Amino acid sequence: MGKTRSYKAQKVVDLMKAKTKSRQIMLSLESCVKCGQCIDQCHYVLANPDDPTFAPPYKADKLRKFFKAHEDWTGKVIPWWVGARSIYTDEELEELKDVVFGKCTGCRRCSLVCPMGVDMATFNGMARNLLYSVGIMPEGVWAVAKDQWEIGNQMGVLKEDYLDTLEWMEEELQSKHNDPSIKIPIDKKGADIMYTINPREAKYDPRSIADAAEIFHFAGADWCMPSEGWDMTNFGLFVGDPSLGAAASSRLYTAAQELGVNKVVISECGHGYRSTKCEGPNWAKMDLDFPMESSVITMLDYIKQGKIKVDKSKNSEKVTYHDSCNFARSCGMTEEPREVLSLVCSDIQEMYPNRQWNYCCTGGGGAMSMSEYAPMRLKSAKIKAEQLRATGAKIVVTSCHNCVDGLTDLIKHYNLDMKVTQLVNLVANALVVPASKMPKVMKEVSMPLAGKKILVIDDEPDVRIFLTKIFKENGCEVFEAPDANQGMRIIRDKNPDLVSLDMILPHKTGEKLYWELRKDEKYKKLPVVIVSGYTKIDDPKIDFDAFLEDKGIPAPQGFVEKPIHPDVLIETISGVLLEKV
Amino acid sequence: MSIAAFTKPVETKVGSTKVKLLREDLTALKVDAFVYYARENLDIGTGYGTAIQMRGGLEVKKELEKIGSIRMGECVITTAGMMNCEHIIHVCGPKFLEPDIEKKLRTCMENVLKTAKKNGLKTLALPPMGTGFYGVPLPVCVSVMIDTITQHIRGGTTLEEIIICVVDKRDFNAFKEKVANL
């Protein structure tokens, strides 16, 4: 009597039989000759030399034995020779889970040396998918995959939070450059570029979004970010699930098509780049009429074409570059990031081994979401920690968000004196803002306003504080008055260069004070800017015009509407004072 | 304007009840209730569960903890905390290639619609039940949802509007013709 098989184990057997197996998977299942060349390529093996269960052939055989038992003729004829063995229990499926999720990050370093062409990552991905299909996976994988299916991004960032973050970063940039023209455009139909990000950026690292926006702005790019389909990561790659792969990538492609953009730019993320640019079109089965490129290429082009100027002396600390497995080994992006690095950093130390031979950050393949394997991951990160330490660098640069997290975790664990950053951060830091793009206010007005005496007459304390702060930031000496009478006293005592005058004041209106000033020979030319909170419905200028006409006095030198925009205020005040000068 | 605005909703009427296919954010809709595809232990988890916790606060979780658990096909109705909707109907549906998916899904749908009627709801929104993460095949889901919704309306309902709310075009296209031809 044969062994009985659990329901899930039977489903896995059925799936294995039914699964379309690509040439690469078949080759990987059939052709290992146990030569052992792959063994010392794996960071898990190097960090755990006494444990043979980390060896790639051992891990691969967990699935290979099962395949041979059901699919391969050798398993039927000479099962004892080829080690064919089926799976029967849920416990065996759990054991397989610990191997395929917990002991391999799919970094593909072992595949580089395999004389038979076994592709461990694709092979492992298939095994993960068999388990995932019957609901056997680490809880963290469950959480992330479900978020990506249902919320549309793998970190469950809600739409309102994503949009708020973009708005926040836009404001930060405007404030940094004192330039309200800097925008993070959203859903701009017909834009040249649609920029897509890793949700980690929106959730934990919005600075990277701001840095990219800064680069796009100063390069004069016509760009936007989509309100949906903005997540370029794809957990379908990590769980070997082509249906999730298709759903996630098609959402991004659909956004690009609906916005009618010319190009999709993918921010620095190894698996995101591979999923979106390389695997996604096959998963989604979509004909795409737009190119896709890594932001590394975009930044490099901007620098080479002179669209942005950079000063490498601004990044003077010693840096080293970590090649992401998916970006470098799987997609061949090894030289472009180094070229960018050489243009924006002055002290670069190469890491050894590097490029396609680099070691995994140890957080790849979704490992950062599998907390149950964290101790094993960090123990196995020893080899990476030694590699980092040997560079003597203070900063490790990587073009992958997964690697940022993996490296940050191991740096903390091994007490390395390093921090992790990305090229986008370094390029933004090295930016030289050209004089032609300096805000007008900064160029022309900041000096003329220095030392000017300004009187703020407003009955609202908050408004006085706000205006005083703005004027002081521009080098002015400021006096405050809560009403017209106190304002008049200060005018006589301090002789200000300009009066910022509210219209609605207690006791005596701003209108009346203005009339008194214009009647007075000494103050009839004192510049006055009306700072008013009237709406358009009862625009003071309409009544005020009638008042001016009635009294036969000239109009004030300027008007600024509340709510006050600091740039508009300073431009108006500067215009008035410059004209006077 | 959001990108979803590029997808024109599909609307039809069965009796006096409007059936609508919408590409929108399920958990942000202003409806009497939306349906959440729950686990047996009623642990909210992620996905739409993330949105329930982030937008709704702790209230829903506390209510579910008091209820404890439900069995396959059963559903419970809770309030929706600070969300735009009034209630959430939590239903335990089939997952990950388990046996009798179609039959179980049909039971789920019937119970959800009965619960809506029992509570006098007028507007109800549903996701494509069990597709995506839980792996219910999309054609099975479309067939069961359309069948049960039609039968429920014909048997008499309090519902004035039933919304099938999807995340992307893949799901939208799967339902489009069926909803239009109801």
Q: What's the pLDDT score for residue A182?
A: 95
Both tokens of B109, joined, read: 């749908």
The phi and psi torsions of A211 (rounded to 5 degrees) equal -65, -40
**Contact flag A159-B54 (C-beta cutoff 8 Å):** no
Secondary structure, 3-state, A205-219: CHHHHHHHHHHHHHC
In tens, the pLDDT along A38-68 reads 999 999 999 999 999 999 999 999 889 989 9
pLDDT at position B1, please?
A: 59
Top mean pLDDT of A441-455, A545-559, B156-170 is at B156-170
**pLDDT score recorded for residue A459:** 86
Residues of A numbered 4-43 whose beta carbons fall under 8 angstroms of chain B's beta carbons: which are they? Answer: 7, 11
Q: Strands A309-310, A431-432: parallel, antiparallel or unpaired by DSSP?
A: antiparallel
Cβ <8 Å between A228 and B4: yes
As a whole number of angstroms, the distance between CA A71 and CA A53 comes to 24
pLDDT above 90: percentage of residues in chain A: 75
**What kind of fold does domain A7-137 have according to CATH?**
Fumarate Reductase Iron-sulfur Protein; Chain B, domain 2 (1.10.1060)
Q: Most B CBs within 10 Å: which of A12, A146, A161, as the mutation test of the B interface?
A: A146
Q: Domain A440-580, CATH 3.40.50.300 — does that match? A: no
For domain A314-427, say whether CATH 1.10.287 is its number.
Answer: no
B170 touches A at CB < 8 Å: yes
Dmax (CA) for chain A in angstroms is 117
- Crossing angle, helix A56-70 and helix A23-30, to 10 degrees? 100
Residue A541 confidence (pLDDT):
55
Residue A439 confidence (pLDDT): 66
Write the single-letter amino acid at B87: H
The CATH number of B8-180, from 3.40.50.150, 3.40.220.10, 3.90.1170.10, 3.20.190.10, is 3.40.220.10
Residue ranges of domains in chain A: 7-137, 146-304, 314-427, 440-580
Beta-carbon separation of A142 and B45 below 8 A? yes
Cβ <8 Å between B127 and A150: yes
Average per-residue pLDDT in chain A?
A: 92
For chain A, say whether B82 makes contact (Cβ under 8 Å). no
Nearest-Cα residue of chain A relative to residue B132:
A149
Chain B partners of A7 at a C-beta cutoff of 8 Å?
Answer: 98-99
Cβ of A142 under 8 Å from any chain B Cβ?
yes
Residue B156 C-alpha, separation from nearest chain A C-alpha, in angstroms: 31
Reply yes or no on whether the pLDDT at A76 is more than 80: yes
Q: Is B163 helix (H, G, I), strand (E, B) or coil?
A: strand
Q: Using CA atoms, how far apart are residues A68 and A530, in angstroms rounded to an integer?
A: 86
ipTM more than 0.95?
Answer: yes
Nearest chain B alpha carbon to A242:
B132
Residues of A in contact with B4 (CB under 8 A): 228
B-chain residues within 8 Å CB-CB of A135? 95-96
Identify residue A91 by its one-letter amino acid code: E
> Is it the case that residue A537 has pLDDT exceeding 70?
no
Tell me the chain A residues in contact with residue B35 when contact means C-beta distances shorter than 8 Å: none
- Provide the 3-class DSSP secondary structure of residue A376: helix
Q: Which residues between 28 and 67 in chain B have a beta carbon less than 8 angstroms from any beta carbon of chain A?
A: 28, 45-51, 54-55
pLDDT(A30) > 90: no
pLDDT band at A462 (very low <50, low <70, confident <90, very high): confident
Residue A581, pLDDT > 50, answer no
Query: DSSP string covering A526-581, please?
Result: --EEEEE---STT-HHHHHHHHHHHHT-PPPSEEEESSPPHHHHHHHHHHHHHHH-
Q: Is the pLDDT of residue B40 over 70?
A: yes
d(CA B159, CA B87): 14
Contacts of A213 (CB under 8 A, 6+ apart): A169, A170, A173, A182, A184
Distances, alpha carbon A290 to alpha carbons A253, A254, A255, A276, in Å: 9, 11, 12, 12
Rounded Cα–Cα distance for residues A392 and A417 (Å): 9
**pLDDT for A184 beyond 50:** yes
pTM: 0.81
Domain locations in chain B as residue ranges: 8-180
The reply to whether domains A7-137 and A440-580 share a CATH topology is no
Q: Read off the pLDDT band of A114 (50, 70, 90).
A: very high
What residues pair up with A186 in beta bridges, in sequence order? A225
pLDDT digits (tens, 9 = 90+) for A348-360: 999 999 999 999 9
Residue reference for tokens 């080690």 = A83
Residue B174 to residues A310, B11, B135: CA-CA distances in angstroms? 50, 15, 15
Q: How far apart are CA A430 and CA A180, in angstroms?
A: 22
Instruction: Give the number of other CB atoms < 10 A from CB of residue A49.
Output: 10
Say yes or no for a CB contact (<8 Å) between B135 and A250.
no
pLDDT of residue A539: 53
